Structure 1
Amino acid sequence: MLENADAIQDAVIKMDPSVQKLLSVSLAFTMLTVALGLKPEDFRFIKEHPQSVVIGSLAQLLALPVVTLGLIYLITPEAGIALGMLIAAACPGGTISNLLTRIAGGDAAYSVSLTMVSSIFSTAALPFAILFWTGLYGPTSTLLDTINIDRVEFIIGTSITLLIPLALGLTISHHKPALAAKMNRYFLPVAIGILVFLIVSGLVNNSDLILKYGSTIYPIVIGHNALAFLVGFSIGKFTLKSVRKVRALTFEVGIQNTGLGLLIVLTQMGGVGSTALIVGTWSIWHLFAGFLLASSFRLSDRINAAKHQAAE
């Protein structure tokens, strides 16, 4: 059992009801923005490369939660921490993975398609996935009962908040692609700004919790995120022939839309402090780790190119 387990489990982030409603609106706005960014060519890639898309989607939507559950049983964290780990693993891929894939010299089209599939599927299935995976670890299931989570209300509320804006965005993107592109150009910075503000302000306002429990939180987040990158890389290495696709899958599994997960924790999960700290810390750490990994791939390519040139 981890150090500070009892104390961190009691930490709760309190929010004014008006702030909670604003966060729900922000969650809906984020999903609308994600949907507006989807393009017809993303769907064509899926039709042309169905096997690699299925492999990538299973790695992200199934393998990562399974491995996360195995890690939880190995280290036996307290319930709130385990809940945060499972929520992070269940979240869809983050769009920053597309940028990191480009930096790393990966297959950008494959990355975008996987992000699209996970965004659409996870949006519809996310509340069910969270309840399913948390139900497989006794302490997290008990925690949801303790904080009086109405599972039916959670499914309905989260689904409505996620699905309606997603459907609206997909409709606009399909019938009015020019309008969708224009809206996305303006909406995306706002959506990113909202998430950045939420994460930064949350970390600042709860700096006492971070300082007090950082020694417990940081190793778990860093190790869990490293494992996520490893899952994507390993599955890609054994199933995909293209090095560029392997790199894309590495970032798709390692970079999760934990900003979405944090909004769900704050609006639907009672603001459990340890859960919010895990998901919020992941939201920052995976960007740092992702850029380091992408830079290392790029550096490796330059070194290999230099060796090849020298050998000629």
Structure 2
Amino acid sequence: MLDGLGVDTLTVELSPTFQLIMSVSLMVMMFTVALGLKFQDFIDLKKEPGAVAGGVAAQVLGLPLLTLGLIMMLNPAPGVALGMIVVASCPGGNVSNALTLFSRGDTAYSVSLTAISSVSAALVTPVSILFWANQYGPTSALVDTLDVDPTIFLVQTAGLLALPLVCGMSLAHWKTDLAAVMKRYLTPVAFSILVGLILVGGYTNRDVLFSPDHNLIPLVMTHNAVAFAAGALAAVAMRLAGPKVRSLTFEVGIQNAGLGLLLLLSQFGGVGGAVAVTALWGVWHITAGFVLVGLFRGYDQLTKNTRIS
């Protein structure tokens, strides 16, 4: 049992001005993501609807369900569980596309899944967070104490996510050249926001992150391993080809931790345990992702050498 004594007594305090900055940062991030989305990114939905639907289900339903199971087994502090649920409810990010490319996976399939999860995030992410948080009693009670109004949360979050997504995709469709220029300049801004959030979250909760009393590092490593395994097993269950197995492994294992941090800071009062888990996930999932890339590439090389011999 992870009692997490004291882990949720820490909060990241936000002034009204900083809350506004967080909201603007969230919109910039989503707008930048949308600038890179094209209608052809959804082509696999028509070509292989079963593979796409299964991949989306693994992300939207499979990972949160397994996360809830892990929470029930480990019984973490309410805020820690909230962080796990928020991470599991967030869409994948462009990092999964890059890791898929490096590992010689099916990049087109990866891009299609990322595009769908990003576009649907405006509705799916807030609904998923509230639904799964209510399935674990301590976290449900915590959300009640934070005085989070479900209707307001859904409307605000959907607006913050949907508006920049619609604007970005519309600009990318009608003004391709302008969108390309804007994406080139905004991408480092969005990346800086992401890195900054993870660093601030990690530094603010450094005592929690590295305290042996809370076991957050093993917890996050286990949770992330479950996510990668869920993607791989879902792909195998659907009998997808090898490159698609790699794609779905990264799509489910790599989540937009930056978005999760923004939601926690702007909508959930910066609960220390949740912020710590999400910040730690943001660092670890990329590290684990590159380890997997190395394993996949090593397997390819070993297979190649075996064939030659």
Pick the TM interval, shorter chain: over 0.9
For residue 2 of structure 2, what is the aligned residue in structure 1? 2
1:153 Cα offset (Å):
1.4
Give every structure 1 segment of 4 or more consecutive aligned residues whose post-TM-superposition deviation is greater than 6 Å.
none
Report Cα offsets for 1:142-168 as digits up to 9, x if no partner: 101111112221111111111111110
Unaligned runs of 5+ in 2: none
For residue 79 of structure 1, what is the aligned residue in structure 2? 78
Q: Is 1:115 matched with 2:91?
A: no
Contact 2:51 2:240 in 1 (8 A): no
For residue 257 of structure 1, what is the aligned residue in structure 2? 256
Q: Pairwise mapping of residues 239-278 of structure 1 onto structure 2 (< 5 A)?
A: 239-278=238-277
1:113 Cα offset (Å):
0.4
Residue identity matched to 2:135: L
Q: Pairwise mapping of residues 1-312 of structure 1 onto structure 2 (< 5 A)?
A: 1-3=1-3, 5-212=4-211, 215-310=214-309
Report Cα offsets for 1:185-233 as digits up to 9, x if no partner: 2111110111101211332233233333675211110000000000000
1:182 Cα offset (Å):
2.0
Return 84-93 or 201-210, whichever deviates more.
Answer: 201-210
Contact 2:209 2:217 in 1 (8 A): no
Return 17-26 or 277-286, whichever deviates more.
Answer: 17-26
CA distance in 2, matches of 1:77, 1:273: 13
Aligned-partner SS, 2:211: helix
Aligned-partner SS, 1:93: coil
Report Cα offsets for 1:82-117 as digits up to 9, x if no partner: 111111100001110000001111000000000011
Contact 1:111 1:249 in 2 (8 A): yes
Contact 1:60 1:252 in 2 (8 A): yes
1:50 Cα offset (Å):
1.3
CA distance in 2, matches of 1:183, 1:49: 32
CA distance in 1, matches of 2:13, 2:209: 16
CA distance in 2, matches of 1:213, 1:92: 30
Contact 2:121 2:161 in 1 (8 A): no
1:241 Cα offset (Å):
2.9
Residue identity matched to 1:308: R
1:307 Cα offset (Å):
1.1
Contact 1:61 1:90 in 2 (8 A): yes
Output the TM-score relative to the length of structure 2: 0.96
Task: Check 1:73–1:142 CA distance in 2 against 1; reply closer, same or farther (3 A cut).
Answer: same
Report Cα offsets for 1:119-150 as digits up to 9, x if no partner: 11122221111111111111111101111112
Unaligned runs of 5+ in 1: none
Task: Check 1:240–1:194 CA distance in 2 against 1; reply closer, same or farther (3 A cut).
Answer: same
CA distance in 2, matches of 1:81, 1:210: 11
Task: Check 1:205–1:82 CA distance in 2 against 1; reply closer, same or farther (3 A cut).
Answer: closer
Residue identity matched to 2:184: R
Report Cα offsets for 1:32-88 as digits up to 9, x if no partner: 011111123212232212111111000111111111111111111111111111111
Task: Check 1:214–1:92 CA distance in 2 against 1; reply closer, same or farther (3 A cut).
Answer: farther
Q: CA RMSD in A?
A: 1.3
Task: Check 1:272–1:292 CA distance in 2 against 1; reply closer, same or farther (3 A cut).
Answer: same
Aligned-partner SS, 1:212: coil
Matched residues, percent identical?
Answer: 45
CA distance in 1, matches of 2:294, 2:182: 31
Residue identity matched to 1:195: L
